[in-house]
């Protein structure tokens, strides 16, 4: 197996790094404190091809693969994980769902605008009482003539307030039936489609999270994605790829925190020498580096299989679970290396520490990943 970055990967990673340094880094703490969702930054990301990474060129996308996708999310997340999260959600959830299961007319209508970030996408599966148990959703879609009428609410939705369109999964059959749910595209401005409460979060604060509310929301029946009743099955397939996204986000956080810890350990002196010279600190750095290497290898194996069109359910869950757990550990240890300064907002590790925890929850908790892995290995 070839472990070298291709020339394309190197170019894409460098472009994402430069974008993050120029357009994101100067504003990280400002957006974090104010919970600002910087729409203009995503428009710029769209110009550079970062909002349609996996979209074929025929639909206005970059036409790249999952190795390049990981590189982009990783580089952005090393600067600001909340921006990395939003780029990942737009690409892997909303855009990818339409790209994977939409018909040709639907793809032509929405994908080019999503790839350019003319439209910001949201994806609605989770509800107030159905987190891991997505099959128990209460939001319904009832056919009435040429329209489906949606009623219910989704929560913890990335871009729930600002997103221009949303892919929404609603119940069209019996509760708990895996073939009783369907996916629909709902456009902002549709009567009865409202934004609800915006969450006040621990971390990822520049990535908007809010409710989607549907009150007798009528959408054309041609907005149904794929076959009636396939929405849940589609969502599970989308989440397989989405777990690579969260793994890449986690990897970026881990690398950002570790690089900050290494830098600080070389500069901070105690007892007449840099603290990096003390075994207690150097061993922490060694553990960080080893765990990052393992997470990166696992993620790129998942990317390799995904690019080949092979099943990634098991390796996707493994890579997401491992990368998210080690990014929390590494962010924690990075704060420890900084000592009291790590607890202040003057150093980046404080924010990495807050942002990291979401990775073990979003797009399937660690516990759900273990269920998925166990089910796969016990087949």
Catalytically active residues are 363
Strands 147-158 and 140-144: antiparallel
Q: Which residues contact 164 (CB under 8 A, 6 or more apart)?
A: 118, 119, 120, 121, 187, 188
Structure tokens given for 183: 């996916």
Phi, psi of 130 (to 5 degrees): -135, 90
Q: Which residue has the tokens 């929560």?
A: 155
What end-to-end distance do the CA atoms of the chain give, in Å? 27
Q: How far apart are CA 88 and CA 75, in angstroms?
A: 12
| Three-state secondary-structure class, residue 176 | coil
Residue in 214, 186, 212 with CA at minimum distance from that of residue 199? 212
Instruction: Return the bridge partners of 8, or none.
Output: none
Residue in 196, 217, 216 with CA at minimum distance from that of residue 208? 196
Residue in 45, 46, 86 with CA at minimum distance from that of residue 355? 86
Asked if 223 and 377 count as a contact pair (C-beta separation under 8 A), the reply is no
Q: What is the dihedral of CA 54, 59, 63, 69, to 10 degrees?
A: -20
Asked if 359 and 321 count as a contact pair (C-beta separation under 8 A), the reply is no
Q: DSSP class of residue 45?
A: H
């Amino acid at each position: 197996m070839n472990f070298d970055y291709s020339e394309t990967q190197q170019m894409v990673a460098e472009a994402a790094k430069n974008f993050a340094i120029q357009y994101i880094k100067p504003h990280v703490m400002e957006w974090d404190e104010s919970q600002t969702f910087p729409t203009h930054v995503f428009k710029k990301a769209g110009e550079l091809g970062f909002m349609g990474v996996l979209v074929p060129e025929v639909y206005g996308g970059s036409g790249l693969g999952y190795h390049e996708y990981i590189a982009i999310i990783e580089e952005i997340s090393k600067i600001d994980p909340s921006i990395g999260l939003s780029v990942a959600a737009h690409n892997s959830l909303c855009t990818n769902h339409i790209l994977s299961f939409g018909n040709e007319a639907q793809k032509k209508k929405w994908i080019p605008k999503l790839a350019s970030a003319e439209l910001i996408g949201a994806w609605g599966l989770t509800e107030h009482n159905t987190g891991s148990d997505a099959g128990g959703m209460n939001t319904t879609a009832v056919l009435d003539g040429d329209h489906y009428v949606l009623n219910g609410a989704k929560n913890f939705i990335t871009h729930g307030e600002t997103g221009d369109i949303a892919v929404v999964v609603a119940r069209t059959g019996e509760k708990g039936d895996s073939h009783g749910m369907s996916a629909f595209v709902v456009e902002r401005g549709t009567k009865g489609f409202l934004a609800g409460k915006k969450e006040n979060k621990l971390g990822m604060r520049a990535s908007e999270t809010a409710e989607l509310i549907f009150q007798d929301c009528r959408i054309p029946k041609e907005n149904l994605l794929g076959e009636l009743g396939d929405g849940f099955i589609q969502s599970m397939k989308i989440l397989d790829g989405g777990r690579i996204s969260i793994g890449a986000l986690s990897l970026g956080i881990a690398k950002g925190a570790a690089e900050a810890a290494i830098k600080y350990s070389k500069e901070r002196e105690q007892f007449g020498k840099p603290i990096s010279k003390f075994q207690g600190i150097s061993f922490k750095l060694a553990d960080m580096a080893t765990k990052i290497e393992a997470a990166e290898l696992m993620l790129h194996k998942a990317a390799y299989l995904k690019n080949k069109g092979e099943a990634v359910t098991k390796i996707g869950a493994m890579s997401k679970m491992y990368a998210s757990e080690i990014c929390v550990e590494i962010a924690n240890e990075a704060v420890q290396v900084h000592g009291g300064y790590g607890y202040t907002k003057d150093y980046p590790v404080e924010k990495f520490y807050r942002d990291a925890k979401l990775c073990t929850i979003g797009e399937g908790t660690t516990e759900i990943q273990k269920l998925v892995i166990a089910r796969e290995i016990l087949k």
